Structure 1
């Protein structure tokens, strides 16, 4: 690993202090926003079939990485617009989950912020085919294995929230 400020080799893997310039180097989790979009009955949730790596061909929740200085709630609304072509109604935060994401031959730490959400009445969904090849609804009581284990944990927590 090298210092991102001066390019010198680091004495140890982060967290570390660059011996050349004194810069403190950390590996921080990248924030994401995910959505558990519920059906009108509240008993099913929307899942997308991933069209790209990592984990192409597996089911996932709509969502993605937050842009710089973007709040996860705002990112969730933006991601729904980009991936589904709709403006969702954002609901309660289900939880935050520490996970990993494989990108450019690295395993990155991520902090997945997962929210409940609903679609407006009569919403017409237009999938971004670069992101997802298919959309379906699964019973929240019996979800399939999801692409990322943080999504599996969030769905379990969402079931508990919805039963209270």
Structure 2
């Protein structure tokens, strides 16, 4: 066992594998600014180390998903956000991850990378880099339709 993010978890010291109990809920923030640019982070952790992605992270035990998306965005970008609406819930057979995606707006803070981010910046929708995760294109389509 190892304390990871304040929670005792099963952990392999040899390969550093952390055994999260399945399924695991991940929140994703689609944060748009007044120019309709989207906020992305360049990840400083696996999976997708060094790639651009939406702010996201695991929901902690006993944490509301809306609180988790606010917390993860703050940790990764230093921005405070207001959650606007649910964009969708996404999953794949055989993958223990359930994604819950919200749209949000910036309410405060200065854009700075956190420990899990190499860089943070705003991108025009037409200039988004290739995103690494399976549902990213569907998430963008759903956000565009609901926005």
TM-score range, shorter chain: 0.7 to 0.9
* CA distance in 2 between partners of 1:84 and 1:57 (Å): 15
Identify which of 70, 83, 99 aligns with 1:112: 99
TM-score (norm 1): 0.69
| Residues 81-92 of structure 1 mapped to structure 2, 5 A cutoff | 81-92=74-85
Residue 25 (structure 2) pairs with residue 40 (structure 1): no
Structure 1 position 70, deviation (Å)? 1.5
Matched, 1:98 2:116: no
More deviation, 62-71/77-86: 77-86
Q: 1:140, 1:66 → 2: CA distance?
A: 27
Cα RMSD (Å): 2.1
TM-score (norm 2): 0.76
Aligned mates of 2:37, 2:92 — CA distance in 1: 24
- Give the SS at the match of 2:70: helix
Is the CA contact (8 Å cut-off) linking 1:99 and 1:150 kept in structure 2?
no
Separation in 1, partners of 2:87, 2:112: 26
How do residues 66-145 of structure 1 correspond to structure 2 at under 5 angstroms?
66-99=59-92, 108-120=95-107, 123-128=109-114, 130-145=115-130
Task: Pick closer, same or farther for the CA change 1:126–1:135 going to 2, 3 Å.
Answer: closer
Distance 2:61 2:70 in 1: 15
Q: Secondary structure at the match of 1:95?
A: strand
1:156 aligns with 2:104: no
- Paired residues, number: 127
Equivalent in the alignment of 1:30: 24
Deviation at 1:135, TM superposition (A): 1.5
Q: Distance in 2 between matches of 1:99 and 1:108?
A: 5
For structure 2, the residue ranges without an aligned partner over 5 or more in a row are 1-20
Give the structure with the higher percent strand: 2
Aligned equivalents of 2:126 and 2:84: distance in 1? 19
